[in-house]
Chain A
């Protein structure tokens, strides 16, 4: 077992949690590990929400989009899976890299919000998807 729920709680509560996740994201992306679609990271940074939760901000480019994309991701949600030998930050970084950054945006493409630098943002704090589109008239 890579880590226990208790170890996850301790990791998230540590003051350097956000920095550790940033380092893990950079490590995953530079190691050439598996992604759903190729992406190129432009910038990875950190900010803190007013409730104290660290927030990952990743700017990246994907062959699926002509726009430069930004993901804003609060780092308080436990990853669904973990591999042997991983630390909590490595498990979270892997999941964000594969299933958020490199997975196609889908209908989030319609909800992106452009900032002053021409980066189109999605994720925590930006518009969310609505449900049950199939049943709409």
Chain B
């Protein structure tokens, strides 16, 4: 915890000569491609390393959403329901169950931005996977990462706010 917050309960504010988190904020490896996921429409979309302050990539998926199982991201991008909420941006949706306990289920949502990036670290390159998370729960349960998963056809009611006609 930073010194301001522990003493005052007020957020840390950055001074003009502040070295705090500078290396973290740079994200020099953010553009590094970790995986290339095949798409149903042909071609691939990259998963980049990302960083703690990047809004794209593996860092956020791992550390914010507790999702380390890249196989289910690959499956969802290839076979999941798909929506196209804005030009070049796709949402993919797939339900999975635990192979050892079929009552344990998660719905995975993956977002891929297949446009060129504007962040200098990915300038002119495809952004790729922006985020992926388990819908309706605070974070992906650990079993998602450590046991086998089986894709299932039916999505659960957590998608009540989603217009089904938007998905194919």
Q: Once bound together, how far apart are the Cα atoms of A78 and B86, in whole Å?
A: 20
Which chain A residue shows the least CB distance to B133? A104
Q: Is B4 a contact of A125 with CB atoms below 8 Å? A: yes
**Could you tell me which residues of chain A, from 1 to 37, have a CB within 8 Å of some CB in chain B?**
2-3, 5, 8, 34, 36-37
- Distance from B112 Cβ to chain A, minimum over Cβ atoms (Å): 12
Residues of A close to B1: CB separation below 8 A? 127
Q: Is A124 a contact of B64 with CB atoms below 8 Å? A: no
Q: Is B5 a contact of A131 with CB atoms below 8 Å? A: no
Q: Is B12 a contact of A125 with CB atoms below 8 Å? A: yes
Which chain A residue shows the least CB distance to B134? A104
- Distance from A70 Cβ to chain B, minimum over Cβ atoms (Å): 10
Q: Is B65 a contact of A107 with CB atoms below 8 Å? A: yes
Is B71 on the interface with A (CB-CB < 8 A)? Answer: no
Residues of A close to B24: CB separation below 8 A? 128
Q: Is B131 a contact of A80 with CB atoms below 8 Å? A: no
CB < 8 Å neighbour of A50 from B15, B86, B120, B135: B15
CB < 8 Å neighbour of A100 from B4, B55, B86, B122: B55
Majority DSSP secondary structure for residues of B touching A: loop
Q: Is B63 a contact of A107 with CB atoms below 8 Å? A: yes
Q: Once bound together, how far apart are the Cα atoms of A91 and B130, in whole Å?
A: 15
Which chain B residue shows the least CB distance to A5? B120
Q: Is B138 a contact of A105 with CB atoms below 8 Å? A: yes
Residues of B close to A74: CB separation below 8 A? 14
Q: Once bound together, how far apart are the Cα atoms of A86 and B45, in whole Å?
A: 24
- Distance from A112 Cβ to chain B, minimum over Cβ atoms (Å): 11
Residues of A close to B52: CB separation below 8 A? 128-129
Q: Please judge, given known A-B contacts A81-B118, A125-B4, whether A49 and B63 are in contact too, CB under 8 Å.
A: no
Q: Once bound together, how far apart are the Cα atoms of A99 and B85, in whole Å?
A: 14
**Could you tell me which residues of chain B, from 1 to 48, have a CB within 8 Å of some CB in chain A?**
1-2, 4-5, 9, 11-16, 18, 21, 24
- Distance from B118 Cβ to chain A, minimum over Cβ atoms (Å): 5
Residues of B close to A38: CB separation below 8 A? 161
Q: Please judge, given known A-B contacts A103-B131, A103-B133, A113-B5, whether A129 and B64 are in contact too, CB under 8 Å.
A: yes
Is B102 on the interface with A (CB-CB < 8 A)? Answer: no
Not counting A53-B14, A103-B131, A107-B65, a sample of 5 additional A-B residue pairs whose C-beta atoms are within 8 angstroms of each other reads A51-B14, A64-B138, A80-B54, A81-B113, A104-B133
8 shortest A-B CB distances, which residue pairs? A125-B11, A106-B64, A34-B85, A125-B12, A51-B16, A99-B55, A80-B119, A106-B65
Q: Can you show 14 pairs from A to B with CB atoms below 8 A apart? A: A5-B123, A34-B85, A34-B86, A38-B161, A78-B118, A80-B56, A81-B127, A83-B115, A103-B131, A124-B11, A127-B1, A129-B63, A131-B63, A133-B63
| Chain A residues proximal to chain B, CB less than 8 Å | 2-3, 5, 8, 34, 36-38, 49-53, 63-64, 72, 74, 77-84, 91, 95, 99-100, 103-109, 113, 115, 121, 123-134
